Amino acid sequence: MLATRDSLAPLRAQFTAPAGYLAACTAGLPTAGTRDAVAAEYSRRPDVDEYCRAVEATRAHFASLVGVATDRVAIGSQTSVQVSLIAASLPDGAEVLVPEHEFSSLVLPFVHAGRGVHVRPVPLADLAAEVTTATSLVAFSLVQSASGAVADADAICAAAARVGARTLCDATQAVGWMPVTAARFDALVCHAYKWLCAPRGVAFLTLSEDFARGLRPAHAGWYAGDDPWASCYGGDAPLAGCARRFDVSPAWQAFVGAEPALRAFAETDMTAVHAYVTALAASFRARLALPAPERASAIVTWPDAGGTDLARLSAAGITASGRNGSARVAFHVFNDLADVERAAAALGR
Rounded Cα gap, residues 337 and 315, in angstroms = 20
Q: List the chain residues with pLDDT less than 70.
A: 1-5, 17
User: What is the number of other CB atoms lying within 10 angstroms of the CB of residue 164?
Assistant: 9
Per-residue confidence (pLDDT) for residue 324, from 0 to 100: 87
The DSSP 8-state label assigned to residue 230 in this structure reads G
Tell me what pLDDT residue 3 has. 54
The pLDDT of residue 120 is 98
Q: Which residues pair with 122 in a beta bridge?
A: 99
For residue 283, which of 232, 236, 329 has the smallest C-alpha distance?
329
Q: Identify the CA nearest to 244 among candidates 297, 206, 289, 290.
A: 206
**Structural domains present in the chain:** 2-29+269-346 (3.90.1150.10), 48-266 (3.40.640.10)
Long-range pairs for 114-123 at CB < 8 Å and ≥24 separation? 115/90, 116/92, 117/87, 117/90, 117/92, 117/93, 118/93, 118/94, 120/95, 120/96, 122/97, 122/98, 123/99
Q: Which residues pair with 73 in a beta bridge?
A: 206
List Cβ<8 Å contacts ≥24 apart for 88-93. Answer: 88/113, 88/216, 88/218, 89/214, 89/215, 89/216, 89/218, 90/115, 90/117, 90/136, 90/137, 91/136, 92/116, 92/117, 93/117, 93/118
How far is Cα 168 from Cα 231, in angstroms, rounded to an integer? 30
In this prediction, residue 337 carries a pLDDT of 96
Count CA atoms within 13 Å of residue 210 on its CB side: 8
Long-range Cβ contact pairs of 60-65 (< 8 A, separation 24 or more)? 61/259, 61/262, 61/263, 61/265, 61/266, 62/175, 62/190, 62/192, 62/204, 62/262, 62/266, 63/206, 64/266, 65/175, 65/176, 65/180, 65/196, 65/262, 65/265, 65/266, 65/270
